[in-house]
Structures are given as structure tokens and as C-alpha cells.
Amino acid sequence: MIHAPTISGATARPTALEVDLGQLAANYAAIAAHVGPDVKVMPILKANAYGHGLVEVGRLLDGLGAPMVGVAYLEEGLRLREEGVRSPILVLGGIVGEQIPDFLDHDLTLTASSIDKLRAIEDCASVMGKRAKVHLKIDTGMERIGVHWHGAERLLEASLACTHVDVDGIFTHFANADEADLSHARLQLERFEEVCRFYERRSLPTPLRHAANSGATLQLPESHLDLVRPGILFYGASPAPCVAKTIPVRGALRWVTRVVYFKVVAAGSPVSYGSTWSPTTQTRVVTLPVGYGDGYPRALSNRAEVLLRGARHPVVGRVCMDQLMVDLGPAGTGYNGDEVVLLGRQGDLEITVEELAAWAGTIPHEILVAINTRVPRVYRGHE
């Protein structure tokens, strides 16, 4: 186990995020088994691996032999390389021209999302005397980056003329694969498959095709193609309430803190900023040293629950930047130093990221990536 940093022999904070690398390894294996041996799995590590720790999760997947990992930005790929991760890394986001040499120097795969960007990559690789690895990005209905499907043939033709670019893949991204109505996702898939027939019509080998994000991995098997890109699914959560988690993945986090104050609050005495909550009868309230400054959303005020001594208790009053309060009830028990779970399991009880997201009126992705680096990470469960 890798422990939180220490200050003068004492743990830096009573609040920590425990990351179970063994569970992430199990999630990876479960997804791979679901899609079958002919489909590669490329977990997505953007945004600090959805809050789990970019470097540690990258090293885990490197050791597991993942065929590729995906990140959003160049700096994420560079960090992985600096920390010894040797797996192929696809940077999925848009690029600017002056970044291209860094991609080539560190063997990172670029997303070529237009003819102009493809030509810039070709020119840079030619000047540097190197070969660039790219995946071509096709926009089939997301309107973010990528050439429109109806004009994509020009990009594919241009790629054939490149002498310093290797087109290792071609991909698109679904806008609605995590919805109950999959008609738009199926339309996008039809458009993408038509684009990819370019290679068949010219009797050329087709690059690695990929389209499936977490939602499509779960509920659109025809979109698995050659590779799937699980993001939130790899971290054990469903991408949306309407999407059944049919693959046996589980959350890998326990966000824990400890009671730092206990008091009895009189009936009618308001708690925290804005006086948004007060007990109707005398009650017991504990204070926890965590707040929205750590990524625990202020939107959870008067909505969320925590686990303490094997029971659920409500968060009361407004969540502060560095502290929040929990109502134990008139007869509840809690002592300074008691463990409190904000996310994850305590005994037989569990607070899931899906629950936190529903209470906050957002999606699990946002909850996870918001847990910032002020919260120390503690890793366990896998060597």
C-alpha cells in the first residue's frame, strides 16, 4: 500500500481517496471478456484518470499489457511517458501546430481531425526525419472535432499521399450512446461504416476502427468494431441511469475522512452558511474536514448522505469550502476520529458515485474528476 504523504510523522490529512488498483484490473478484465478476443480495449485516462491518478493507473495498465490507452491532452501523454509508461498512447483531443514535435519526440499518437492538421503533421515529421502515428477523426454527428462524414473521403485520400504519416486508426464519437433511444447512435455508426468502406473499395487494409465509448460498449455491441474506449465504465460506473451495467465492474474508490468535532445543536438553531437547515428537535451534529475545496460539490448541501458507524446520516446545512456537517439525530453516536465514508463502502453499506451524482444533479464523470489533488491518494490491491 502507498500511503498519503506525511508531515512530521503524522498523516497530512484525515481525508484521503483510497484507490483499489486490483478492482481496476478486474474491471479491465471484465470489459475485455465482454467484448471478446477480437476487440481491443483502450481505457481512457484523461482528467487524472477520472480522479483515480493518471500515473498510477497508467502504470497498472502498462503492466496488464493494455494495447493502448487514451488521454485528452498532450501534457497527459507526456506525463505518462516521463513516468515510464510505454504502452501506445492516443491523444484524443485537438492539437495546435507547435505541439506536433513533442508528439513525435515521445512516440505519442495524434488525432488528425482535418486535412490542414494532417498536412501540418506530415510537414513536421518530414522536417524532423520521423514517422508520425495518427488516427483520423470523423465527425458523424457530434459537431466537436473531426471532418464531417459526408466530406471525409478527401481526408482519407490526403492521408494516402502522406509519406511520413502512418494511419494506425480511424474513429468517431457517439453523442447519444448512453440514451435509451439509440436511433441517433445507430445513424452515426452507419455513417462511420460507410466512411470506412473507402478502404474496401480501394482494396486497401482498413486501419483500426473504433467508435464505442462506455455507453456503446454496454448497449450497442455492433459498434465494438476493432477497439472500444471505456471511460467511466472502466472506473466501475454506468454512464447514465438508463444504461444497465451489464458488465460486472465495480467502483474502485473509497473517499474517507474522520470526525473532527462533535456538538449538540438545539432545536431551531441553524447550521452553516445561509441558515438553510435547522433541527426540529435537539440533535447531535459532527463536523468533517472536507468540502467543495476538495471537490465535494456544494450542490450536495442538505441532500447527500455519508456512512458513519454502519449507518447512513444526512449532510446538513451548506457544504463549506473546507468543512461540512452531518446530523446524527437525537440519539446518534459519533466520536472524534471516527471514520466517515463519503464515497464507497463501509461494512455492508455503500454510497455509489451514481448516488452522489443524482444528489448533485450531475453525472458520475463530473463527481470523479472534481476530486482534486488536495485529497491525498492511497493505492492498494495490486502490485
| 199 noted as active-site residue | no
Q: Which of 339, 70, 95, 26 is nearest to 212 (CA)?
A: 70
In order, the DSSP letters of 191-234 are HHHHHHHHHHHTT-PPPEEEEE-HHHHHH-GGG-TTEE--STTT
CB-based burial, 299-329: b 16+ in 10 Å, e otherwise: ebbbbbbbbbbebebebbbbbbeebbbbbbe
Task: State the Cα–Cα distance between residues 217 and 227, nearest whole angstrom.
Answer: 10
| 273 noted as active-site residue | yes
Distance in angstroms between the alpha carbons of the first and the last residue of the chain? 9
Task: State the Cα–Cα distance between residues 72 and 382, nearest whole angstrom.
Answer: 26
User: Which position among 40, 46, 117, 137 bears the catalytic label?
Assistant: 46
Q: Which of 173, 185, 171, 168 is nearest to 221 (CA)?
A: 185
User: Which position among 261, 263, 273, 335 bears the catalytic label?
Assistant: 273
> Coil, helix or strand for 300?
helix
Classify strands 132-139 and 349-351 as parallel, antiparallel or unpaired. Answer: unpaired
Phi, psi for residue 375 in degrees, rounded to 5 = -90, 115
CB 104 within 8 A of CB 125: yes
The catalytic site residues sit at 46, 273
